[in-house]
Structure 1
Amino acid sequence: MTASENGQYIWTHELATLHLLKEKAIYLAKENTLLLADTHFGKAAHFRKAGIPVPENIHLEDFARIHQLLGSTGASNVIFLGDLFHSDANESWYTLLEFIELHPNIRFQLVLGNHDILPGNIYENSPLEMHSSGLKLGNLLLSHEPQPSLGMDTLNICGHIHPGIVIKKNSKQRIRLPAFYYKNNSLIMPAFGQFTGLFSMDVKSAESIMVTTPERVIPIKLNNKVG
Structure 2
Amino acid sequence: MLRASWVPVQLAEGLSIWLHPSGAAFLPEHAALLVADAHLGKAASFRRLGVPVPSGSTATTLEALGDALASLGGTPLHHLVFLGDLLHAARGRSPELSRVVGQALTAWRARRPGLCVHLVRGNHDRAAGDPPPEWDMALQAEPWPMGPWALCHEPQLVAGAYTLAGHLHPCIGLRGGARERLRLPCFWFGDPAHHAIGVLPAFGDFTGMHPIQRRAGDRVWAVADQAVRELPEALR
- State if a TM-score over 0.5 links the two structures: yes
Unaligned runs of 5+ in 2: 92-96
Does structure 1 residue 109 correspond to structure 2 residue 108?
A: no
Cα deviation digits, residues 57-81 of structure 1 (max 9, x gap): 1221111111111111153321000
Instruction: Name the structure 1 match of 2:83.
Output: 81
Secondary structure of the 1:191 match is coil
From 212, 218, 224, give the equivalent of 2:229.
218
TM-score (norm 2): 0.86
What count of residue pairs does the alignment treat as equivalent?
219
Instruction: Name the structure 2 match of 1:154.
Output: 161
Secondary structure of the 1:52 match is coil
Distance 1:155 1:88, change over 3 A: same
Native 8 Å contact 1:210 1:219 kept in 2: yes
Secondary structure of the 1:96 match is helix
From 172, 175, 186, give the equivalent of 1:168.
175
Give distance in 2, aligned partners of 1:68 and 1:119.
27
Unaligned runs of 5+ in 1: none
Instruction: Name the structure 1 match of 2:94.
Output: none
Q: Which runs of 4+ in 1 moved over 6 A?
A: none
Q: Counterparts in 2 of 1:87-106, with a 5 A limit?
A: 87-89=89-91, 90=97, 91=99, 92-106=101-115
Native 8 Å contact 1:85 1:93 kept in 2: no
Give distance in 2, aligned partners of 1:225 and 1:8.
24
TM-score (norm 1): 0.89
Cα deviation digits, residues 168-220 of structure 1 (max 9, x gap): 11112110000111221000000001211110111345611111113311111
Paired-residue identity, %: 27
Distance 1:8 1:48, change over 3 A: same
Residue 37 of structure 1 deviates from its aligned partner by 0.1
Cα deviation digits, residues 81-112 of structure 1 (max 9, x gap): 00000011122133112211111121111000
